[in-house]
């Protein structure tokens, strides 16, 4: 039997749509599952109380605070370095070979497994620089891991700023940095912010790099300084789901929901910034 090309196409397209459903449907199933099963676990107490009874009850307050603290310090390091690195690549690098070399390095940095970042952070920051297991060590590790995300999106944002803005500014006698600071960066800001938010969300969700650099198994108090350990949400979820027996599902799912919620809200922010910027763009 000969099948006509039309029929082949029909069969092929159904298979392709099946692939897509198989990829995308689980995403929504996962999120729905977490929301439905985690929702009942969320309460004011859950969000603001210390864990009790070996983490089987009480809240996850220190993990939330720890994550926020850690991510803020991470961004403190990652944003300036990342943005300036992108500025270098887009605005300054004229030596093609060197530029390419840096770009390859960034691609590779982005590809380094997160657990290897953990090892690196342990080796360099915790042990060699004697920071100990601390927010500082964890944040520096996460900052290096987030750099490629920030650099890539900042680069993209910078290259959407018309060349004419730079020429106008320079033609008025502004210096190179003044031009970047006043004519380029403000107009790339939405794109840069998008990258920062995505980097933030990545940092907030990572477990492997913080395992040996900052994460505390159980520490029912808030951090006092940069040199304290903290509990963080992703590691806490790992602990609840594999290390502590007989944890109630709503505590596990609730923790997952808080983490996913945090990350998805950040991503939503990124989407909104991007969309608003596209609408407002005047050139």
Partner 1 sequence: MKIKVEDLHVYYGSIHALKGISMEIRRNEILGAIGPANSGKTSFLRTLNRLNDLELHVRMEGQVLMDGEDIQKINVSLLRKRIGMVFALPLPLPLSIFDNVAYGPRMHGIHKKKELADIVEKSLKASYLWEEVKDRLSSSAFKLSGGQQQRLCIARTLAVEPEVILFDEPCSGLDPISTAKVEEAMLELKEKYTLVLVTNNTKQAARVSDRVAFFLMGELVEVDGTSKIFTNPRDNRTGEYITGRFG
Partner 2 sequence: MLRIFKTRETITKIQQRQISEFIIEKLIFLSGLASVLFVILIFVFLLKEGVSLFKTVSLKDFLIGKFWYPISDPPRFGVLPLLMGSLWVTLGAVLIAVPLGLGCAIFIGQIVPRSLRDYFKAGVELLAAIPSVVLGFVGLVTLVPLVRHLFHLRSGLTVLSGSLMLAFMAMPTIVSIIEDAFNAVPKSYREGSFALGATQWQTIYRVLIPAAAPGILAGVMLGMGRVIGETMAVMMITGNAAILPKSFFDPARTMTATIAAEMGEAVRGSSHYFALFAIGIVLFLITFLVNLVADFVLHRKK
Q: Contact residues for partner 1 (CB under 8 A)?
A: 94, 164-175, 178, 182-183, 187, 282-283
Residue 167's binding partner, choosing from partner 1, partner 2, none, with beta-carbon cut-off 5 to 8 A by kind?
partner 1
| C-alpha atoms less than 13 angstroms from C-alpha of 187 in its C-beta half-sphere | 17
Cβ closest to partner 2, residue 224 vs residue 254 = 254
Cβ closest to partner 1, residue 4 vs residue 282 = 282
* Residue 109 φ/ψ region, left for φ over 0, alpha for ψ in the -120 to 50 degree band, beta for the rest: alpha
Q: 260 with 52: CB under 8 angstroms?
A: no
d(CA 262, CA 144): 21
* Closest to 149 in 3D by CA, of 81, 98, 213: 81
Cβ closest to partner 1, residue 178 vs residue 243 = 178
Give least dist CB 277 to partner 2, A.
15
Give least dist CB 95 to partner 2, A.
11
Q: 231 with 219: CB under 8 angstroms?
A: yes
Give least dist CB 200 to partner 2, A.
11
Residue 69's binding partner, choosing from partner 1, partner 2, none, with beta-carbon cut-off 5 to 8 A by kind?
none
d(CA 176, CA 91): 9
Residue 16's binding partner, choosing from partner 1, partner 2, none, with beta-carbon cut-off 5 to 8 A by kind?
partner 2
Give least dist CB 230 to partner 2, A.
16
């Amino acid at each position: 039997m000969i099948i006509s090309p039309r029929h082949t196409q029909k069969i092929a397209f159904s298979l392709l749509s099946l692939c897509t459903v198989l990829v995308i449907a689980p995403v929504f199933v996962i999120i729905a599952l977490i929301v439905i099963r985690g929702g009942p676990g969320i309460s004011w107490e859950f969000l603001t109380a210390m864990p009790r009874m070996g983490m089987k009850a009480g809240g996850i307050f220190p993990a939330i605070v720890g994550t926020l603290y850690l991510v803020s310090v991470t961004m403190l390091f990652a944003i300036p370095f990342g943005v300036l690195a992108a500025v270098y690549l887009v605005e300054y690098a004229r030596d093609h070979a060197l530029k390419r070399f840096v770009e390859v390095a960034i691609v590779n940095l982005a590809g380094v497994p997160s657990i290897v970042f953990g090892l690196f952070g342990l080796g360099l920051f915790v042990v060699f620089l004697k920071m100990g297991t601390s927010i500082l060590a964890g944040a520096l590790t996460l900052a290096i891991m987030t750099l490629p995300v920030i650099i890539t999106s900042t680069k993209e944002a910078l290259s959407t700023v018309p060349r004419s803005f730079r020429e106008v500014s320079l033609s008025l006698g502004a210096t190179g940095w003044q031009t970047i600071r006043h004519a380029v960066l403000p107009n790339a800001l939405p794109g840069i912010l998008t990258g920062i938010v995505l980097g933030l969300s990545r940092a907030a969700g990572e477990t492997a790099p913080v395992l040996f650099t900052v994460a505390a198994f159980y520490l029912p108090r808030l951090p006092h300084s940069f040199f304290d350990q903290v509990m963080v949400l992703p590691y806490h979820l790992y602990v609840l789901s594999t290390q502590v027996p007989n944890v109630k599902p709503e505590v596990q799912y609730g923790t997952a929901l808080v983490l996913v919620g945090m990350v998805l809200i950040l991503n939503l922010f990124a989407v909104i910034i991007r969309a608003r910027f596209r609408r407002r763009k005047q050139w």
